[in-house]
Structures are given as C-alpha cells and as structure tokens.
Amino acid sequence: MKNKTSILLNASRRSLKAGGYAAGFVVTGTEKVRCGFGNGDCLLFDFKHDTFAVADGSERHPRGSRELLERFGEELAEGDGAPVVDELQEYIRKIYKQQKYNSKTTFSCISFVKEQDEIHAAVANGGDSIVLILDMNERKRRFKTAADMNFAGRSITEAAVNLIRIDQDRDRIILATDGFADYIRQVFGAESPEKFGLLYDESPERVVEILTDSLEGLQDKIEYDDIGIIIIDPGKKNLGFPVSILTGGTSSVEENRFSGPGAEEVPDRWLKESDWFENQEIIEKAGIGISWSVCKGKGFSGSKNSD
C-alpha cells in the first residue's frame, strides 16, 4: 500500500509542504516589518474538504483576512468532503455578508469537485488576488481570474463560483495575493506569474523552498509587500490527514511577537504531524492555526485576536 504524504510545517518560514501535492507560504512586507504593522495576507489549506483559499486584508485591519477565512473554514466543516457548487456559493455568500466594512479583504478560493466522473475546479475570486491554472505540458496559462471590486466587507454581492474542468495530469493551480507578482518581477524578472519559469520547472515544495530562500538578505535591498501563495498539483493528492491549516492575517501585536526586537528566534526546521503538538507554541507564534477535527464548532488553534 502506498504511504500517505506527510504535511510539513516550518514556523520560521511560515510555510507548508504536502509532498508533491501542495505547498505555500506567507511573508510580511518590508515596510510592515519596519513600521511594526500586521500581515494582511492569509492562506487556508483545508485538506479534508479539498479546498484552498487566499485573502489579502488591509493595512488598517490585517486580521480581516484571517477572520474571513476562519469563517470560511467553519462553513466547510459542515460537510464531510468537498462542497458541491451550490454549497460553496452559499458559504461564500454567508462569509461576505458577515464581513465588517472596516475589515475589507480580497478572497480567492478553489475547491476540487467531481462532475460526471470528471474533476472540476470550483473557483471564486473577489478583489485583486488571483487564481491561476497553468498547463504544465504547454507551459502556458489556461485560466486566470480577473481583478474586480468584489472585496469582502465592501461589495454588496459575493464572489461568484465558476466551474472549470481540469486535467489532473497536466494542470497546476496557483492562488496568490498581489504581492507575489510584484516580488517575482523585482527579484526574478518575471513579467507575470504565468511567465515565471520556476512555476513550471519545480515541484510545489521546491518552488516554496527557493522563494523563501530568495528572501534572505533582501530586506534592506528592495521593498516588497506581504506575499501569500499556494501551489497545487491536483493529480498528486495522497494525504490521509483530515486537517485544516490557516496561516497569516496577523495583527501588529502578533507580528511583533514573531519578529519584533524582543522576539526569540524561531528555529528554521520542518515539523511533521507528530511534532506539531510539542512545538505548538512556536507554530502559533508564527501565526499558524491548526484544526485537526475539522468539524462543526471546532475552530483553529492560535486564533485569538491579540490587538
């Protein structure tokens, strides 16, 4: 029997790797670090419900993105598997309706669903974050969401769900905030995410490793915004853990605890599931919340507002 892939967390890099299936990370922008602000980029990896999301909150209320994705995770937990399209649309309608005006945030998500024995991606996007589908064989973009004004907290209508058939053997999905495109343009000279060669040449986990390595020593050389990205190869799914993980969307107080002048250094090492409990303090210090039960009424660890 084939062994199940482990999910690895790195608190220092605020990163996640799930074998060749999925990977992602968030990083705080240079000015945010310098001025002691929070990180508005937030990522949701819901492995039980085959659903992933990114949100980019405002500088004024960076936790708005986390609040939105926490509620999204709670809605997903109502079901046993990936939501059907109508369910997903209703979940999004609810979380948009509950989002406060001052907590403006983008919202982009993808959920993998079966339709007539074919795998489809149910995609929703509001604001200027993106969902991108790449054809790995042809090395070109197959689908990309367009920026709009449907920000959660400001729009009277929620982001609409669209169904797109995918080829598990050749498609790769990217979810990213606008800071990602700006960063790869400055550092790697990529005109846009779909023209960034690294996304075609390496596995999701290697892309994350290379990108987080590239950040070393750049803080005083270039200016970049918060960065949040999730990379998924849907055909590589091989997980046995019903876990949901949230990272980012942190307040200024939480950011200072993680990287401020008085913060203790967080070790740069990858932790497998069996190591999470004994390292819970440093995982939560990095703004990473874990929901093992992924069921109704159970929230994420490390999700208290510290403002």
CA distance 193 to 226: 16
CA distance 30 to 134: 29
Q: What is the pLDDT of residues 67-94, one digit of tens each?
A: 999 999 999 998 888 899 999 999 999 9
In this prediction, residue 241 carries a pLDDT of 73
One-letter identity of residue 196: F
Helix (H, G, I), strand (E, B), or coil: what is residue 138? coil
Q: What is the pLDDT of residues 152-167, one digit of tens each?
A: 999 999 999 999 999 9
In this prediction, residue 286 carries a pLDDT of 95
Q: Which residue has the tokens 């440093």?
A: 282
Question: Kindly report the CA angle at 186 between 152 and 135, in degrees rounded to 5?
Answer: 70
pTM of the model: 0.94
DSSP for residue 296: T
Element (H, E) at 269: none
Q: What is the pLDDT of residues 33-64, one digit of tens each?
A: 888 899 999 999 999 999 999 999 999 999 99
CA distance 10 to 215: 15
pLDDT band at 302 (very low <50, low <70, confident <90, very high): low
**Cα–Cα distances in angstroms (integers) from residue 108 to residues 105, 277, 281, 306, in the given order:** 10, 30, 29, 25
> Percent of the chain beyond pLDDT 90?
79
CA distance 245 to 247: 7
Number of helical (H) and strand (E) elements in the chain, helices listed first: 9, 14
pLDDT at 11 over 60: yes
What mean pLDDT comes out for the span 14-28?
96
Q: Dig out the tokens for 252 from the structure.
A: 């200024």
Q: What is the pLDDT of residues 220-262, one digit of tens each?
A: 789 999 999 999 999 998 776 789 999 999 999 999 899 877 6
> Percent of the chain beyond pLDDT 70?
93
DSSP for residue 102: G
Spell out the domains of the chain, with CATH numbers in brackets. 8-291 (3.60.40.10)
Tell me which residue of 120, 127, 158, 157 sits closest to 145, measured CA to CA: 127
In this prediction, residue 118 carries a pLDDT of 84
